[in-house]
Structure 1
Amino acid sequence: MKVLVVFIFCLVRSTFGQFEVPDALVEVFRPRGLRVSIPDQEGIKLFAFHGKINEEMNGREGGTFSRDIPKAKNGRWTFYDANARLKEGDILYYWTYVDYFDGKNKLGYPNDDQKFVVKQLLDKDGAAPSVTPPTVTKAPPQEHTTLESGCKASVTTKVNERVCAGEQIFHEDFTTFETNIWRPEVKFADKPDYEFVFYRAGPPNLQVKHHRLTIRPVPSDAVFGEGFVSRREKVNLAPACTGVPGSIECVQTPGAFLILPPVTSAQISTKGKWSFKYGKVEIRAKLPKGDWIYPELYLNPVNEEYGPGYASGQIRIAFSGGNEDLCRDLRGGCILGSSPAARNYAVKNIVKNSGSWSDDFHKFIVIWKPDQITMMVDDQVYGNIYPPEGGFVSEAYNLDLVNVERWRGGTSFAPFDKEMYLVLGVGVGGHCFEDRSDATKPWTNNDPKSQKKFYQAAAQWGATWSNASRLEVDYVKAWAL
């Protein structure tokens, strides 16, 4: 009877719009125990899990495991079976189901034909999902030595020099804009995120005032005049351009469906001025609000020794879309490539029970070790990231990774074993937002006309932008391990 009800709900949902069931987090414990959960989202009223071990599901059958979860706990809807016994190599076939209330109707949404291969067993405890360390091949520990100052040396390096354990290695409270520390970008955005942005230095996009850094995205037409994005003449940012000389980062000519970036913004970094490897970074900031706006709080590789773009990895300290339906979800972790799978594989998230992450200031923290990255917000751990057996390169096929064979020459945590620099900025649109099945996203990521379609929808997203559509940073601090 329940399967029939689910089927009817699926027919009805096409009439009222679509909700996408979040992908489930599957955790298998030793010697026994199975936990499957999804993050809580506003509107979810029930979560159901149905699964079998080493036997494919016959459609939406009940399965060996079959349970309805009527209430979320600790920000997640969680199925748990303490007696389930699985071993490495087992395959869990399953489907999930959500009752979702969209404000008018409560409809049912399944997520069919799911599969999870058990690659490691986790130590059994009562911790929140994703914080139990799996057994992995770790980078060899560095021996602690004594520096000339007499202090104990840390595994942390700062500009390729060893530092004292526990030493504060960076402190910025934005009394003024320190040009010896920060480099403002001046360029048209390009790969790997293809954001719809022209990065500029100075007002109205970049400002340091009252001990606070403010970065605000502004429509290009509002800065340069109506019709700027489609003017039929070459725009050359040289000699101030910080992008690749002669490339589309520095020179663009609008024509046909190709337009100049419809939004101006700002991005600053410590590239060429300050970098480090391993340590703790804390940023106190208020995130921007407004459709398709997102913060750029990153660690980027200094020399791209493993290859260009995401082949050398990126650590996201905090990411949250400014849309009303996205701003409760905070994400952070490691970006391994440009494909959707590679952007999400090593990323953790935490969902705010009420309000959004852009309502107030929060402390966004990453602890980067030689064999582990810990994501925190306001001193709460919401995820740990470990390399799989064989390192991240072992997932190259599953994640559609390219040009990553160089990772085999690094540690088990490659590409996250090289010095990185800080990035603070605000992006808009581009590939940081996955394509959606509904009509609310005005562009698709691989459409060559995506930037123009976004520009044509300015009335839609522009109505959501306000004085809160800005990133405010109170301070940035970093410590050695």
Structure 2
Amino acid sequence: MLTSFIVLLLVCLVAKTTAQYEVPEATVEAYYPKGFKVSIPDEEGIKLFAFHGKINEEMNGREAGTFSRDITKAKDGRWTFIDNSSKLKEGDILYYWTFVDYFDGERKLGYVKDDQSFTVKELLPKPGAVTTPQPSTPADPNVCNPTQTTINGKAACRGHLIFDSRFDQFGQNKDKFWTVERKFAGAPDYEFVMYDDSEKTLSVTNGHLVITPTLLDNIYGNNYVTSANGLDIGERCTGIRASAECYQRPQGWYIIPPVLSSQLSTKGKFSFKFGKIEVKAKLPKGDWLYPELYLNPEKEIYGPNYESGQIRIAYSAGNNMFNRRLEGGAILGNKAAARNYAIKVSDRNSPWADQFHTYTVLWEPERITLSVDGMVYGIIYPPERGFSSLTSNLQINYASRWKNTFAPLDEEMYILLGVGAGGHNFEDRSDGTKPWVNKEPISQKNFYKAKSSWLPTWGADSKLDIEYVKVWAL
């Protein structure tokens, strides 16, 4: 190969020069379902970039390798080698060396960076990948082929639509599929909310489910959150009876949650393990508001709260400084590291809450794929020894119970929809923009006292508008 011969000849010249130029460090990205990219930043003087590499086999000196290509033109500020056919997996090692033709203003010389390697730790969504991988082809409704999906503990049929909730008949089907929560919020997010089925916060408009948070004072009277009488949900409560989920009374620094919102779930009525869930929705705007589009464990067999995991279909806080960031993925525990480890992000220039989007989670036994409007933005794989191998790093209390590689994301989950406000979904900030500190007993009161700063941001768009929720078997 003439090009490789020329490159090797130039490399020999490098040894004879005393110039100080160094080849930039390469950035390597491995993609799902296949392909990888190796690139260096464009710098004045670079005239050519060459890449030579092998997968899982060390280079024999400066051999051409399995991959051998000269890149003669930079694009978008980088010199880039792209392979579209290799199917990599976590743990694979790419061994390589790179070469640069560099002109220093007087002469052009070749420079090499030897003995480089990259270990695949994560497969990224391939740039430009369109459409979420389908769990199966459309199935004959009269034929039931086996699948790994289960519904309420029973086997499902491959490719079948197993849950379809359009809300134009919500009034008739509400009790069949959904439970509207009536309780005070608590662990693990400690949001500053009381959930109820008030017509002020929960409605169906043009066939869409609409959840609109408001101040509790707007329903019960001015400064009711500090009322000595407290608030007792009584027999209507869907939480644990005779607990803070059903009755709260202000005392000293403690006040009743200042926000009234709605939340509903399929717990006890519909749960599934593995499948594809799709939610078309418009997310809420407004400071310290956020959508609750979750899959929660039907049975917390691994431990309470997030110790049994959670899958987030879509999350984007309503603040102007946050609402251009979409998050989705899995939460593995209560501590910050466990909350963030398996979360993927998609940033954009305009708020996600500006319009409707279709949010999709493809939950398979070996990975979770996240997409929005058919564009994949994140894939979650467990480490080789499972999520339980991350116990010390993520400070997980119950990971010793995670015997399977994909645990705790290997049990049936139910669907939860709602709108939250404040609480532990917002990490503490040092810039003074967040009016409460998460673990301070007075946090809820400080949030309420600061309402003159955040309440004006709540308006007509401070609502979660859901067109439909659908689930398919794999």
CA deviation after TM superposition for structure 1 residue 149, in Å: 6.2
* Cα separation, 2, equivalents of 1:36 and 1:325: 31
1:221 matched to 2:214: no
Alpha carbons of 1:459 and 1:479: their partners in 2 closer, same or farther (altered >3 Å)?
A: same
- Asked whether the 8 Å contact 1:27–1:122 carries over to 2, the reply is no
* Cα separation, 2, equivalents of 1:384 and 1:435: 27
1:464 matched to 2:457: yes
1:370 matched to 2:365: yes
The match for 2:233 is: 237
* Cα separation, 1, equivalents of 2:469 and 2:436: 34
The match for 1:423 is: 416
CA deviation after TM superposition for structure 1 residue 88, in Å: 8.7
The match for 1:270 is: 266
- Asked whether the 8 Å contact 1:235–1:252 carries over to 2, the reply is yes
CA deviation after TM superposition for structure 1 residue 338, in Å: 1.3
Q: Which has the larger radius of gyration?
A: 2
2:405 to 409, 412, 437: 412
Alpha carbons of 1:119 and 1:431: their partners in 2 closer, same or farther (altered >3 Å)?
A: farther
How many residues align? The count is: 371
- Please give the per-residue CA displacement for 1:208-260, whole angstroms capped at 9, x wherever unaligned: 23211000110111111001100112422221111111221112110111000
* Cα separation, 1, equivalents of 2:140 and 2:354: 44
1:394 matched to 2:393: no
* Cα separation, 2, equivalents of 1:245 and 1:187: 10
SS at 2:287 equivalent: coil
The match for 1:435 is: 428
CA deviation after TM superposition for structure 1 residue 451, in Å: 0.4
2:319 to 315, 323, 326: 323
1:350 to 336, 343, 346: 346
SS at 2:147 equivalent: strand
The residue identity in structure 2 corresponding to 1:190 is: G
Alpha carbons of 1:176 and 1:126: their partners in 2 closer, same or farther (altered >3 Å)?
A: closer
- Asked whether the 8 Å contact 1:176–1:208 carries over to 2, the reply is no
* Cα separation, 1, equivalents of 2:200 and 2:149: 37
SS at 1:459 equivalent: helix
1:453 to 441, 446, 466: 446
The residue identity in structure 2 corresponding to 1:335 is: I
The residue identity in structure 1 corresponding to 2:297 is: P
The match for 1:250 is: 246
Q: Percent identity?
A: 46
1:294 matched to 2:287: no
- Asked whether the 8 Å contact 2:125–2:378 carries over to 1, the reply is no
Alpha carbons of 1:282 and 1:403: their partners in 2 closer, same or farther (altered >3 Å)?
A: same
1:205 matched to 2:204: no
* Cα separation, 1, equivalents of 2:373 and 2:328: 14
Alpha carbons of 1:194 and 1:36: their partners in 2 closer, same or farther (altered >3 Å)?
A: farther
Calculate the TM-score normalised by the size of structure 1.
Answer: 0.72
The match for 2:336 is: 340
Give the unaligned 5+ runs of structure 2.
1-26, 42-74, 83-90, 94-117, 131-138
Give the unaligned 5+ runs of structure 1.
1-25, 38-71, 90-117, 132-145
User: What RMSD, in angstroms, separates the aligned Cα atoms of the two structures?
Assistant: 3.1
- Asked whether the 8 Å contact 2:40–2:80 carries over to 1, the reply is no
SS at 2:385 equivalent: coil
* Cα separation, 2, equivalents of 1:218 and 1:259: 16
The match for 1:127 is: 126
Q: Which has the higher helix share?
A: 2
- Please give the per-residue CA displacement for 1:423-478, whole angstroms capped at 9, x wherever unaligned: 00000000001111211110111111110000000010001000100000001111
The match for 2:309 is: 313
SS at 1:304 equivalent: coil
Alpha carbons of 1:36 and 1:369: their partners in 2 closer, same or farther (altered >3 Å)?
A: farther
- Asked whether the 8 Å contact 2:141–2:160 carries over to 1, the reply is no
| Runs of 4+ off more than 6 Å | 30-37, 78-83, 146-149
Alpha carbons of 1:201 and 1:273: their partners in 2 closer, same or farther (altered >3 Å)?
A: same
Calculate the TM-score normalised by the size of structure 2.
Answer: 0.73
The match for 2:153 is: 160
* Cα separation, 2, equivalents of 1:220 and 1:35: 54
1:281 to 262, 273, 277: 277
* Cα separation, 2, equivalents of 1:312 and 1:79: 43
